[in-house]
Amino acid sequence: RARLTCDIDERWNGPPPRCEPIRCDSPPTVAHSTIKLEDANEDENLGKSTNRSLLVGSVVIYTCERGYRLNGHRQILCLPTGLYDHAAPTCT
């Protein structure tokens, strides 16, 4: 944590802190599935995979291709820890 104090000359003793967004790694690619992203700003179909990191609060929704069954959690949530709340599912 940054700590600033006001010096005798009425100036801060250092630069102000910067806020950096917390992100999760790009969601895992799951064979025989498509990915949809839901976040605070928009919903987006990502297709088979994405190489971009996601902001905290983003939800990744997996859908298996026809003829495949989803095993595990359909949705994973990007947490403030920078990790997802569940492992990605599989499609078998």
Q: Per CATH, the architecture of 23-91 is what?
A: Ribbon (2.10)
Element (H, E) at 64: strand 59-64
Q: pTM for this one? A: 0.74
- Of 59, 78, 63, 73, give the one whose Cα is nearest residue 31: 63
pLDDT tens-place string over residues 3-60: 788 888 888 888 888 888 899 999 999 999 999 998 756 556 666 667 788 999 999 9
Contact assessment for residue 62 and residue 49, using Cβ atoms and an 8 Å cutoff: no
Q: Which residue has the higher pLDDT, 72 or 16?
A: 72
